[in-house]
A = this chain, B = another copy of it.
Amino acid sequence: MAKQQLIRLADFSTEAPSGWKEKPTEELTKDLVKRLGDLQQLLYAEGKHSVLVVLQGMDGSGKDGAVHKVFDACRITGLTLTAFKKPTEEEFAHDFLWRVHKVAPQKGMFAIFNRSHYEDILIQRVHGWIDEKRVARRMQAINAFEETLAFDNNTHVFKFYMHISKEEQEKQLRQRMEDPEKFWKHNPGDWKERELWDKYMEAYEYAINESSIPWHICPVDDRWYRDYFIANTLVQALEKLNMQMPPLATS
């Protein structure tokens, strides 16, 4: 298969593009968030498609915040959110995709993954818990898995790499130690992981470059731009599905 040019994360800005201003962007985002709610309702009613949104990024890259902001107008009836943590004993006694496949969206549903199956080639690789051969095989398995969701269940897979600068991460992690409202998010282990920054960047680049379903690289240093970016990406793509409210059932 012909490869497109390899992506290097360092070539992408972690900030809003020049010229973009906070206030007017927030206005745009407000409309997009509302429109996303309508599209999700349509997806649910029509029941032909499903959506999987994957949010991956370093600690402090604003995954939780994106969930709250972007999907604010979606109805939880048609929405599932899974935050993947350290595998349980039962999960660990299965292949790495087992716990992920279980929560793949059924038709009509919108699934959000806060972290995902990619952790199994990120944190596990960076710490050397798995060898490079397993990394490559897992990458193949991930591609086959995502493709199966796509072709066999009309699942539209949107993967966002939450692109944060190392400086902004420090600011975010520090806030968690200074603001009592954020103490609960502070985890001393995050500072340890931060020491592995370069290895993480390499592992992310590998995942992004080897994925058959492409990633969206979302600048997150300006949180207002992050929300616009994700909402806009989803709305533009879902509009193209040309979904329709089903006619009145007559039997």
Contact = CB atoms under 8 A, between A and B. Distances in A.
B93 A106 contact: yes
A141 B147 contact: yes
Interface of A: 47, 90, 93-98, 101-102, 104, 106-108, 134, 137-138, 140-141, 144-145, 147-149, 151-153, 155
- The oligomer's copy count stands at 2
26 contacts: A47-B93, A93-B107, A94-B104, A94-B106, A94-B107, A94-B153, A95-B148, A95-B149, A95-B155, A97-B148, A97-B152, A98-B101, A98-B104, A101-B101, A101-B102, A134-B152, A137-B147, A137-B148, A137-B151, A138-B152, A140-B144, A141-B144, A141-B152, A144-B144, A144-B145, A144-B148
Nearest to A133: B151
Nearest to A152: B95
Contact of A137 (B95, B137, B152): B152
A105 B152 CA distance: 23
Contacts of A95: 104, 148-149, 152-153, 155
Contacts of A102: 98, 101-102
Contacts of A140: 144
Contacts of A148: 95, 97, 137, 141, 144-145
Given A94-B104, A141-B144, 16 more contacts: A47-B93, A94-B107, A95-B148, A95-B152, A95-B155, A96-B152, A97-B101, A98-B104, A134-B151, A134-B152, A137-B151, A137-B152, A138-B152, A140-B144, A141-B148, A144-B148
A127 B108 CA distance: 27
A145 B145 CA distance: 8
List 3 A-B pairs, minimum CB-CB distance, nearest first. A144-B144, A93-B106, A95-B152
A145 to B, nearest CB: 7
A192 B95 CA distance: 39
Nearest to A107: B93
Tell which of A47, A90, A95 has the most Cβ of chain B within 10 Å. Answer: A95
A104 to B, nearest CB: 6
Contacts of A94: 104, 106-107, 153
Nearest to A90: B106
A152 B107 CA distance: 28
Nearest to A101: B101
